[in-house]
Amino acid sequence: MSRAWAGIDSGKTHHHCVVLDADGTKLLSRRMANDEPELLQLLADVLALADEVTWAVDMADGGAALLIALLVNHGQELLYIPGRAVNRASDGYRGEGKTDARDALVIADQARVRRDLKPIRPSDEITAELKLFTARRTDLACDRNRSINRLRATLTCMFPALERALDVTTKGPLVLLTGYQTPAAIRRSGLVRLTKWLRARNVRNAESLATAAVEAAERQHTAVPGEAAIASMVRALVEEVMALNEKIAEVDKLIEGRFRQHELAEVITSMPGIGSLLGAEFLAVVGSDMASFATPDRLAAFAGLAPAPHDSGKSHGNLHRPQQYHRGLQRVFYTSALISIRSDPNSRRFYDRKRAEGKRHIQAVLALARRRVNVFWALIRDRRCYQVVPPVTHVA
């Protein structure tokens, strides 16, 4: 039976495919548009070259999404090699030039000789949607952070005392800034009228917020140049932040609705510290199939929670934080561990023990996150929910 390996360097508009046989001889090199008819023609031509073909790509989504869907739908074996690994492997091949054809050749050859590449498996519909929703939420959250930073910087240029007094990440101060931006406007309104104005807009703790604003206004009686233009810009930025908050809330509802329909939703959220959002982010990264993580150690390494050895010569036990890991997955485990300290007695005891051993707060939380990976992996494997008191195992 003849075998071949097809490496594809993916792009937005075009891909380049190189096919190698078992000896590394080039059988085909072709550039094709990222279009279904051309991709289907490539598939037919490559399958005509060998009885068994293994495909490899350097992108797991984005511009390669259509290509991957076609290969998966036709039952093809598909491997993923990260672009960073392709760049490093290229140094071991002849020549210094970089072209799509050369990258495709490296991808095909790496798929031919390596046995540690991760297979790409089809995602279920819910997981695919959660991946889209969580990515959209991340984009909106980043936009909101940028707008909040601009708001703070702009407000500081005009009214630094108010910027220090307000937490513009919450609703109340944002509502206040939609109507009052300058010290003079706040002083003219006064405490009583400002409190009444905030209460009419359903702001919590309206009196304390109004008091803080009036006190800030009393500390500044000087109008900076361009105050009217700055005040207008502050209001525009506030409206931008509030609009982004509404969009994020809408996406959160979509995420929770779809996540609750997933078969693992109850198991995942039974783990203290993990709610719908963190659970959805976990599924978006890992998916429903844990076959890629045969042990909890592999899952911890992928999340950057397992130290990487850097031994050389007589130096042993030299452990460092890994450089290649999924930062989003690490955030899921770290954030959930931080929350679980307040809600789960087992997590609290483990954290306190690490602190008593001399660990700093972040070190203790990371150690807890690593321990929780083992529990989390076992819960998903066994399809059972977390219990504060572990079930008793009876040996027959």
Each residue's pLDDT, cut to its tens digit, for the chain (396 residues) gives: 689 999 999 999 999 999 999 999 999 999 999 999 999 999 999 999 999 999 999 988 788 889 999 998 898 999 999 888 888 888 888 877 789 999 999 999 999 998 888 888 777 788 889 999 999 999 999 999 999 999 999 999 999 999 999 999 999 999 999 999 999 999 999 999 999 999 999 999 999 999 999 999 999 999 999 999 999 999 999 999 999 999 999 999 999 999 999 999 999 999 999 999 999 999 998 887 777 788 999 899 989 998 777 777 777 767 777 777 889 999 999 999 999 999 899 999 999 999 999 999 999 999 999 999 999 999 999 999 998 776 565 555
Contacts of 390 (CB under 8 A, 6+ apart): none
pLDDT score, position 394: 59
Phi and psi at 234, nearest 5°, equal -60, -45
pLDDT score, position 189: 93
Distance CA 63, CA 127 (A): 19
In three-state form (DSSP H/G/I as H, E/B as E, the rest C), the secondary structure along the chain is: CCEEEEEEECCCCEEEEEEEECCCCEEEEEEEECCHHHHHHHHHHHHCCCCEEEEEECCCCHHHHHHHHHHHHCCCEEEECCHHHHHHHHCCCCCCCCCHHHHHHHHHHHHHHCCCCEECCCCCHHHHHHHHHHHHHHHHHHHHHHHHHHHHHHHHHHCHHHHHHCCCCCHHHHHHHHHCCCHHHHHHHHHHHHHHHHHHCCCCCHHHHHHHHHHHHHCCCCCCCCHHHHHHHHHHHHHHHHHHHHHHHHHHHHHHHHHHCCCCHHHHHCCCCCCHHHHHHHHHHHCCCCCCCCCHHHHHHHCCCCCEECCECCECCCEECCCCCCHHHHHHHHHHHHHHHHHCHHHHHHHHHHHHCCCCHHHHHHHHHHHHHHHHHHHHHHCCCCCCCCCCCCCC
pLDDT score, position 393: 58
Number of Cβ within 10 Å of residue 353's Cβ equals 13
Say if CB 186 and CB 197 are below 8 A apart: no
pLDDT score, position 390: 62
Note the residue count of the chain.
Answer: 396
Say if CB 50 and CB 119 are below 8 A apart: no
pLDDT score, position 292: 76
Residue type, 211: T
Contacts of 18 (CB under 8 A, 6+ apart): 6, 7, 26, 28, 29, 101, 104, 105, 107, 108
pTM (two decimals):
0.81
Phi and psi at 308, nearest 5°, equal -100, 135
pLDDT score, position 62: 80
